[in-house]
Amino acid sequence: MRLKGFRIVARRYTCRSGEIDLIARRGHLVAIVEVKARPSLAEAMDAVTPHGRRRIIAATDHWLARQSDHGRLSIRFDLIAVLPRRWPIHVPAAFTA
């Protein structure tokens, strides 16, 4: 994410409603990133279940409420798939809220 111009804002952000693996920001764009280590990209994508998405979205709402400029921010939900013997694969806008 840093190589793509993002600044890492938080790692493993947790609250009662859920957890976010990585929060990265570039200008007004905030990438909420779920990191999954799986044998294939398809399995990594499938590993983000609807229940998991709801928890990520709830944690995002909690994080956003604490930001002074939350009205100007644009949120995107990304996935980084960590695959064996390969570079991690970044999937922008892997799911929507």
Say whether 86 sits in a helix, a strand or coil: coil
Residue 19 has pLDDT above 90, yes or no: yes
pTM, whole model, 2 decimals?
A: 0.91
Q: What are 57-73's pLDDT values in tens digits? A: 999 999 999 999 888 99
Domains of the chain: 2-95 (3.40.1350.10)
97: pLDDT confidence band, cut at 50, 70 and 90?
A: confident
Q: Contact, 79 vs 91, CB < 8 A?
A: yes
What is the average pLDDT value for the chain, to the nearest integer? 95
